[in-house]
């Protein structure tokens, strides 16, 4: 779990950092999770820990890479329309918007952070969770 969820983003960031530094711009967007913020609702402890690590990695990289014009952010999706969500239909009762997210809503948040409109956002974790967690 850690090798994919935490080491993967670390290695991908490491692979692009020098190129982005040289061009003095870039966007790194990691995928965190609601589970990484509050512990798993139905997720395992290793999954939650790996996603919490991703969100801390995001903040650390944002501090180091900001001077090069590189933004680093993460998205923390809540419950999405997946097989796991189908097995827990009662989860929507906990979501203020009353439904799970579809993939396009998560993708739209990523596109915002990747766009010029997101150029002044760095070190942030954008919650896309229908209000199940309000910071």
Catalytic site positions: 47
Crossing angle for the helix pair 45-65 and 8-23, nearest 10 degrees? 10
In sequence order, the 6+-apart residues with CB closer than 8 A to the CB of 91 are 41, 42, 79, 85, 100
The alpha carbon of 21 is separated from its chain's Cα centroid by a whole number of angstroms, namely 22
Buried b (16+ CB within 10 A) or exposed e, 49-64: bbbbbbbebbbebbee
């Amino acid at each position: 779990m850690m090798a994919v969820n935490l080491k993967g983003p670390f290695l991908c960031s490491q692979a692009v950092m020098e190129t982005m530094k040289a061009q003095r711009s870039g966007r790194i967007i990691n995928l965190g999770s609601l589970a990484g913020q509050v512990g798993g609702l139905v997720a395992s402890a290793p999954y939650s820990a790996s996603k919490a690590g991703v969100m801390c990695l995001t903040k650390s990289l944002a501090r180091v890479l900001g001077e090069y014009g590189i933004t680093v952010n993460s998205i923390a999706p809540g419950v999405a329309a997946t097989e796991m969500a189908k097995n827990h239909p009662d989860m929507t009762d906990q979501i203020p918007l009353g439904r799970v997210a579809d993939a396009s809503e998560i993708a739209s948040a990523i596109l915002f952070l990747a766009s010029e409109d997101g150029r002044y956002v760095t070190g942030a974790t954008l919650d896309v969770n229908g209000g199940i967690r309000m910071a």
